[in-house]
Amino acid sequence: MPSILVTGGAGYIGSHTVVELFRADYKPVIIDNFSNSEKSVLKGIEAITGETISLYAGDCNDEQFVKHVFESEPEITGCIHFAAYKAVGESVEKPVQYYKNNINSLLELLSAMLKFNIKNLVFSSSCTVYGQPDDLPVTESSPVKKAESPYGNTKQICEEIIKDTVDATGKIKAVSLRYFNPVGAHPTSQIGELPIGTPNNLIPFLTQTVAGIREELIIFGDDYNTPDGTCVRDYIHVVDLAKAHVKALDYLEKEKNDSVYQVFNVGTGNGHTVLDVIKTFELATGEKVKYRIGIRRPGDIEKVWANADKIYEELNWKAERTLKQALYDAWNWQKVLKSRGK
Ligand code: UFG
């Protein structure tokens, strides 16, 4: 059973991926510095899987720490690198912090992988690399646009660093997964998103509004060139997204070519407007969402959704859960958070 290092394994997507790794008979080893996650997540993973977590609490930017993990876990054959800062707005205010953390942690990880002869890397990228695409849906060969934020730029730069390293060394095989909008929670309600402070993203803001924690949801603009004027996104259930990581690892484990680098979109292939999301939430849960239309949020893309054919054709992955299911799971998770006083 190969061990897989999961940096940021206590985070939102990381924790769901750890569950799926166990299911697929990998042994995940988590690194997390708990800067944007909580130890209780580990209990949730253990409750779902019945497995005991191997955790190394520390920072990927710390060379000695990463070395210690690889020395202690000689069975590691691959890494999934989630650990990064991810708030678009915050990255505009704190670019140095974002560049330093997101790029340096990747560099430390790659250095350690080369030193310890670890071959496989799955990297957590984002559809943000496409900006506002000229043609929809976006394919992996759609042009990468100038990043709208330092956060988006770190994803572009990290993808380039990985490609250069694969090409130059021939010792690392890698996949970058370009996520569209991850939503939902584990259907057991044992793990889910844990936003700190006021959520920036639509779904946690919406569920907190319905739970009475926020007064109302503000829709950021209804004058876009879309069917109802609100922005369009491709919302993907976090469990489906987690499974894509396992498929990517399976592929890398089997791939004979020692210097392969592949990029995949991970989305459903369907676009939904913000108003669609609200209506679907109400249908899924029977709850009413209090909302009003506000002004546009600076930097928002009008519409983006994935062409996800490549990942289906090459990795045999496709999204299986509906938006309705994701919103139902997100709401159940919100109720658990509320019962915990959060
Ligand atoms: N929205 C609202 N009100 C809110 C929050 C969001 O109307 O209170 C709208 C946004 O305008 C957008 C949609 O809901 O149309 C989704 O917004 P999110 O903030 O949830 O997600 P984004 O699409 O802006 O950002 C996500 C990820 C980023 C990633 C980006 C790539 O959070 O990490 O996709 O496009 F970079």
Give Cβ neighbours of residue 248 (< 8 Å, ≥ 6 apart).
Answer: 122, 175, 177, 264, 315
CB atoms within 10 A of CB 299: 11
Cα 201 to averaged position of ligand 1 atoms, centre (Å): 5
Ranges of beta strands (E only) in 133-254 are: 173-179, 181-183, 217-220, 232-233, 235-237
Which pLDDT tens digit goes with each residue over 65-99?
Answer: 999 999 999 999 999 999 999 999 899 999 999 99
| Strand-pair category, 272-273 with 54-57 | unpaired
Mutate to test the pocket of ligand 1, among 132, 214, 274 (most ligand atoms within 8 A of CB): 274
Which pLDDT tens digit goes with each residue over 256-271?
Answer: 999 999 999 999 999 9
Question: Which residue shows structure tokens 């069975």?
Answer: 75
Nearest Cα to Cα of residue 304 among 131, 47, 142: 131
Question: Which residue shows structure tokens 């603009």?
Answer: 221
Cβ 217 vs Cβ 291: under 8 Å = yes
Cα 243 to averaged position of ligand 1 atoms, centre (Å): 22
**Phi, psi angles (nearest 5°) of residue 162:** -65, -45
Check residue 138 and report its DSSP letter. Answer: B
> In the structure, what pLDDT confidence band is assigned to residue 341 with cuts at 50, 70 and 90?
confident
Residues designated catalytic: 151
Give Cβ neighbours of residue 18 (< 8 Å, ≥ 6 apart).
Answer: 6, 9, 28, 30, 45, 53
pTM of the predicted protein model: 0.98
Angle of CA points 14, 121, 108, to nearest 5°: 85
> In the structure, what pLDDT confidence band is assigned to residue 282 with cuts at 50, 70 and 90?
very high
Q: What is the identity of the amino acid at 46?
A: E
The percent of residues in the chain predicted with pLDDT above 70, rounded, is 100
Q: Any residues with Cβ below 6 Å from ligand 1, and which?
A: 86, 88, 126-128, 152, 181, 200-202, 205, 217-220, 231, 233, 274, 297, 300-301
Cα 197 to averaged position of ligand 1 atoms, centre (Å): 16
Cα 217 to averaged position of ligand 1 atoms, centre (Å): 13
